[in-house]
Amino acid sequence: MPELFSNRRICTNEERLQWFREAKFGMFIHWGVYAQLAGSWKGKEIPGIGEQIMRYASIPASEYREICKDFNPVRFNADEWVSIAKDAGMKYIVITAKHHDGFAMYHSHCSPYNIVDATPYAHDPMKDLAEACQKQGIKLCFYYSHYQDWDDPDGAFCWGQWDKTYPEEDKVFERYMNRKAIPQIMELLTQYGPIGIIWYDTPGKLSRYNAQRFNDLVHAIQPECIVGPRVSGDELGDYIGYGDNQVPSGANSLPWETCATMNDTWGFKKQDTNWKSPASLIRLLVSIVSKGGNYLLNVGPTAEGIIPPESVERLHIIGDWLRRNGEAVYGCRGALIPYETQWGAVTGKGETLYLHLFDWKGGPFTFTGLKNRVKSARLLASGEELPFTQAETGTHLTDRLTLTLPETAPDPYVSVVALELDGEAEIDPTITDTDGKVFLTSVSAHICSSSGEPECRRSKNGVIEGWSRTEDFLTWQFTVSQPGEYEVVLRTFTEKYPEKDTSWEGGHKFRLSCGGKELSFTVTDDRRIQPRDLFLWQEVETSCGTLSIEKAGSYTLTLTPEKLEYQKGLGPKLKSVILNAK
């Protein structure tokens, strides 16, 4: 074993995660021979994500291998890539050392199917990246497809096997694991210096025993290296991972990460020009950090080794924003409030609380639930002091801090207000109206049933789904500071992925009751919006009617299905109920 690892020590999970908790923002890089195809095969554009074109176009391994003969990324520059990540404020890089196609993007000595031995490039870009990352202070991490390998005779397929060269009944997964996967993980852990994360992907039907072998191998060779969450379907990894482009509706105090694209695909695809705006990307970063997570944002370099200029432009804008506001991101506490807000997000560090305002409105802004005394308030980007008042409005309500904001936003994307407190931030978890709105998310709902255990459930991402019985219902507790008429809106999710059409199901009938008043309505497609968190799912709004609240105080809102329709078998996927003061 190299001298670098000769003095290995026992490392606790919390110790190895310390840098990860501080980092908050990383670069994902999907790069492989699939970039040579750029989303087309034999003159036809192939629908679906670019790095899986082998699957979407049903390309046999023998034909896919021919692509390697033309793969020659002569414009790859490791120092430039790492500089782009560093300029963006990213603290770590996760790159595809081997994707599902089975091709190693480094010099593997246990398989000739690699960039050094099988391409005219004949050079190991991972060695260059390792040197550039160490020089610029960025953590290098490797993605590795440990279960799927569409080239190996014993490799697994997750979505159906199109290449029948090696029949599935003749495959022995342990042969692939022992001959290729385990040896390649050992190579990655011993040839490139300290590695931050081994980011396994698609565990499929991998047994828990074999998943544990992959897990233990990393900790045995590099005890400080983190194992990613997709090593197993049983979450054996060192932190929690959410689905691609998915963010939970509520906070999670455990360390977690979500990976996201800038357009609709991961690997380079020439036709995909559906780029997210810089504002959307920055708001997603803020939302993830406020909920306690890390944001792994993807780039898909070309076959020549160039990160697309559209990606570089957006990353530079994010970096500029972080240079002004990074104090409110790096090393900050998330999960300070258990629910989402419509106006923005909250992070904290020490005795400072940061309010991230997405949609700036000059004049008074009220923040509810803060138990601390505020000593000062300032705009983080400029340092300008802000006038404020803080008062308790009644025993049944939480404290309300009112800031006076200037008419012009200090930042075009997200403006941050820093509050200096008399101690570490304490926030009442009670949902309270802010600027005339009450935002009741699926995460803060109580799931109940009139006939025992409810069947509907809260998914990993916080969405209420699986509603099949009218006996199951939801309740929320909240307070309002002023009486009045409130317009009620219900938001449900579609199911949308890059390779599929948007699917949504309406016609469900619900009854909503609050404060002795009731509304009955049918879930309809009144309006569609693109949420700031889940890029691949749209939200569908249903106008439910007007609810009269006669006095300030605490209330319970109950949402009960009266009839559930299942034409498409989807059922309602509830995101939130919103009360807007009229």
Q: Check residues 208 and 391 and name the one with the higher pLDDT.
A: 208
Distance, in Å, from the CA atom of 240 to the CA atom of 291, rounded to the nearest integer, reads 13
User: Is the CB of residue 486 less than 8 Å from the CB of residue 437?
Assistant: no
DSSP string, 471-506: TEEEEEEEEESS-EEEEEEEEEE-B--TTS--B---
120-124, 131-135, 337-341 — which is least confidently predicted? Answer: 337-341
Identify the burial level of 7 via C-beta atoms within 10 angstroms of its C-beta, where 0-12 means exposed, 13-18 middle and 19 or more buried.
exposed
pLDDT value of position 253: 85
Task: Indicate the pLDDT class of residue 396, thresholds 50, 70 and 90.
Answer: very low
Tokens at 403, concatenated: 């800031």
Fill in the DSSP letter of residue 228: P
pLDDT value of position 497: 52
Beta strand ranges found along 21-180 (DSSP E): 25-29, 40-41, 44-45, 92-98, 139-144
Identify the burial level of 123 via C-beta atoms within 10 angstroms of its C-beta, where 0-12 means exposed, 13-18 middle and 19 or more buried.
middle
Neighbours of 468 (CB within 10 A): 12
In the numeric block, the tokens 């931030």 are attached to: 425
Beta strand ranges found along 337-471 (DSSP E): 344-349, 352-357, 363-368, 374-379, 388-392, 399-405, 415-421, 431-432, 437-441, 446-449, 457-458, 464-465
Q: Residue 111: is its pLDDT beyond 90? A: yes
Model's pTM, two decimal places? 0.92
Distance, in Å, from the CA atom of 430 to the CA atom of 369, rounded to the nearest integer, reads 7
213-217, 438-442, 523-527, 534-538 — which is least confidently predicted? Answer: 534-538
Task: Indicate the pLDDT class of residue 340, thresholds 50, 70 and 90.
Answer: confident
Distance, in Å, from the CA atom of 193 to the CA atom of 140, rounded to the nearest integer, reads 9
Nearest to 430 by CA among 556, 294, 313: 556
pLDDT value of position 2: 44
Instruction: Compute the average pLDDT of residues 418-424.
Output: 96
Terminal alpha carbon distance of the chain: 70
Task: Indicate the pLDDT class of residue 24, thresholds 50, 70 and 90.
Answer: very high
Q: Residue 431: is its pLDDT beyond 50? A: yes
Tokens at 375, concatenated: 């000593």
Q: Which amino acid is at 246?
A: Q
Q: Is 73 helix (H, G, I), strand (E, B) or coil?
A: coil
Instruction: Compute the average pLDDT of residues 418-431.
Output: 93
pLDDT value of position 535: 54
Q: Give residue-wise pLDDT tens across range 554-573.
A: 999 999 999 998 887 888 99
pLDDT value of position 435: 78
Task: Determine the length of the chain.
Answer: 582
β-pairing, 197-200 vs 139-144, is parallel
182-190 vs 208-221: helix crossing angle, rounded to 10 = 20
Q: Check residues 497 and 198 and name the one with the higher pLDDT.
A: 198
Spell out the domains of the chain, with CATH numbers in brackets. Answer: 14-327 (3.20.20.80), 344-429 (2.60.40.1180), 437-581 (2.60.120.260)
Neighbours of 565 (CB within 10 A): 15
pLDDT value of position 8: 56
Fill in the DSSP letter of residue 65: H
Q: Residue 442: is its pLDDT beyond 70? A: yes
Instruction: Compute the average pLDDT of residues 425-439.
Output: 88
Task: Indicate the pLDDT class of residue 532, thresholds 50, 70 and 90.
Answer: low
Distance, in Å, from the CA atom of 343 to the CA atom of 403, rounded to the nearest integer, reads 14
Q: Give residue-wise pLDDT tens across range 484-517.
A: 999 999 999 887 654 455 688 899 999 999 999 9
Distance, in Å, from the CA atom of 336 to the CA atom of 427, rounded to the nearest integer, reads 7
Distance, in Å, from the CA atom of 214 to the CA atom of 198, rounded to the nearest integer, reads 10
Q: Residue 452: is its pLDDT beyond 90? A: no
Task: Indicate the pLDDT class of residue 6, thresholds 50, 70 and 90.
Answer: very low
